[in-house]
Chain A
Amino acid sequence: MFSTLEPRPFTAALHAAVQGFDCGSESWERAMALWITGQEAIDSITNRGTQVFLYYDGSNQLVGFGSIGTTHWSWPPPNGRRTELAIIPALAVQKRFWGHPKGRSVAPSDKYSRQILSDLIGRAKLLPVTALALFVHKDNTHAIALYREIEFERVGELKNDHYKMALPLRVDTNAA
Chain B
Amino acid sequence: MNPLLDNANSPLSPAITNSVDSETKKCVDMIGLSLEPHEMSAADAADMERILSKPLARTTTEAQPLP
Q: Is B63 interfacial (CB 8 A cutoff)?
A: yes
Q: How large is the interface on A (under 10, 10 to 19, 20 to 34, 35 or more residues)?
A: 35 or more
Q: How far is the CA of A30 from the CA of B26 in the complex (A)?
A: 11
Q: How far is the CA of A156 from the CA of B16 in the complex (A)?
A: 34
Q: Is A64 interfacial (CB 8 A cutoff)?
A: no
Inter-chain contacts of A117 with B (CB < 8 A): 63
Q: Is A62 interfacial (CB 8 A cutoff)?
A: no
- Is B41 a contact of A72 with CB atoms below 8 Å? no
Interface residues in B2-44 (C-beta closer than 8 Å to A): 2, 4-5, 8-12, 16, 20-21, 23-28, 30-44
- Is A27 a contact of B38 with CB atoms below 8 Å? no
- Is A135 a contact of B30 with CB atoms below 8 Å? yes
- Is A118 a contact of B34 with CB atoms below 8 Å? no
Q: How many residues of B are in contact with the other chain, CB < 8 A? A: 50
Task: State whether A15 and B35 are in contact (beta carbons under 8 Å apart), knowing that A80-B40, A118-B59 are contacts in the complex.
Answer: no
- Is B27 a contact of A27 with CB atoms below 8 Å? yes
Inter-chain contacts of A35 with B (CB < 8 A): 28, 31
Chain B contacts to A: CB under 8 angstroms:
2, 4-5, 8-12, 16, 20-21, 23-28, 30-45, 47-49, 51-54, 56-57, 59-60, 62-67
Chain A contacts to B: CB under 8 angstroms:
4-7, 12, 15-16, 19-20, 27-28, 30-32, 34-35, 37-40, 43-44, 48, 50, 55, 69, 71-78, 80, 82, 87, 89-90, 109, 115, 117-119, 121-123, 125-126, 130-131, 133-135, 137, 150-151, 153-157, 160-162, 164, 166-172, 175-176
